[in-house]
A = this chain, B = another copy of it.
């Protein structure tokens, strides 16, 4: 006999994502499925030096408990970068370090959502974050996202219902690779300002724009109504779990209390290591190396798509991030393509689970993780799966 689980457990959506990480790790499998960065772009030696220097200079203090909201010098460095690169003027007190940016979503859900509260998500939207919010039982309202960003008419209608939060990825969205245009950003900023709805701007891929930062972050346009979330998971190391949120002053007290009750503090040892890595290396130059690496992967991937996929398939050409959005003809079943490809040794990510409605004919493809050979092999499998499922 054991106690019943809370409503939260049944409310929490299932996620395909982490299950596929395990499938993708099987020997011989090629994966376009998960959002793993390219191992070859990690700076292992730079991080080794950083650890060594931290342990030499900070010694045992580096291993001890630290400031609950995170290691202050790293928060100062992030605040300084916010001001200089993103035109977001904040102090380190506005930066709260978390266990990857996934913990930001959990904290924000915990802090704002009572069961039945309204919440806007993008359609398609990032499943991992939406799963995180789902635990707190909101009523989700989906607004469509296209190549120029969110549909602002739908957003305007959705905001009239008085939702508490709007979760979005304006740069190189996961899953679609779409970005908000400058015009859409202005319209969204006008809609959000003083709407009483908090916008969460997930900027996980913002540093991975192949032409640099093209558009303003939305937090710079409506600073008091937006939480900007960031992470070193896509740039330095996901396993170190160093993420953060940039929050307005009015939220600092409650966010600190929430974080303390959830985990006391996140990993300040790795925060010190990353702070040291940033001090000892030219981060912008390091980012340029990543951008060149991922851009070249994207080009190889797009060429392979042209060569291997049938003409009826459609896709975009993202300017950053790690994902391409593949569409089979309207009415066809992309889940079936996923299944057939899986049988033949390629893991893809079906697009349906990223949707509040529709999306049965979509697949998310990650071009960042596979090697060049894997891209070519995988794309041949994907092409054959498309042809067999679509009867071409």
Seen from chain A, the residues whose Cβ lies within 8 Å of a Cβ on chain B are 1-9, 12-15, 18, 21-22, 34, 36-37, 39-40, 42, 44, 47-48, 51-52, 55, 59-68, 99-100, 102-103, 106, 110-114, 117, 128, 131-132, 134-136, 164-165, 194-198, 224-225, 233, 236-241, 248, 250-251, 254, 257-258, 260-270, 272
- Chain B: minimal CB distance from A248 (Å): 8
Measured between alpha carbons, how far is A241 from B164 in the docked complex, in Å?
32
Contact of A18 among B22, B64, B264 (CB under 8 A): B264
Contact of A67 among B3, B22, B103, B198 (CB under 8 A): B22
Contacts A1-B194, A99-B99: A263 and B106 contacting too (C-beta < 8 A)?
yes
Contacts A67-B22, A135-B258: A269 and B239 contacting too (C-beta < 8 A)?
yes
Measured between alpha carbons, how far is A211 from B14 in the docked complex, in Å?
46
Contact of A111 among B6, B240, B254 (CB under 8 A): B6
Are the CB atoms of A258 and B197 closer together than 8 Å?
A: no
Measured between alpha carbons, how far is A241 from B266 in the docked complex, in Å?
7
Contact of A128 among B14, B103, B114, B264 (CB under 8 A): B264
Measured between alpha carbons, how far is A263 from B196 in the docked complex, in Å?
27
Contact of A102 among B37, B44, B263 (CB under 8 A): B263
Are the CB atoms of B3 and A196 closer together than 8 Å?
A: yes
Contacts A2-B250, A3-B164: A68 and B21 contacting too (C-beta < 8 A)?
yes
Are the CB atoms of A240 and B63 closer together than 8 Å?
A: yes
CB neighbours (8 Å) of A6 from chain B are 110-114, 117, 136
Contact of A1 among B12, B13, B196, B239 (CB under 8 A): B196
Q: Which residue from chain B places its CB closest to the CB of A71 in the assembled complex? A: B239
CB neighbours (8 Å) of A48 from chain B are 51-52, 55
23 sample A-B contacts, Cβ–Cβ < 8 Å, listed by A number: A1-B195, A3-B164, A3-B165, A4-B112, A8-B111, A8-B258, A12-B261, A13-B261, A15-B261, A39-B60, A39-B63, A47-B55, A48-B51, A51-B55, A99-B263, A103-B262, A128-B264, A134-B261, A240-B267, A240-B270, A241-B263, A241-B265, A270-B270
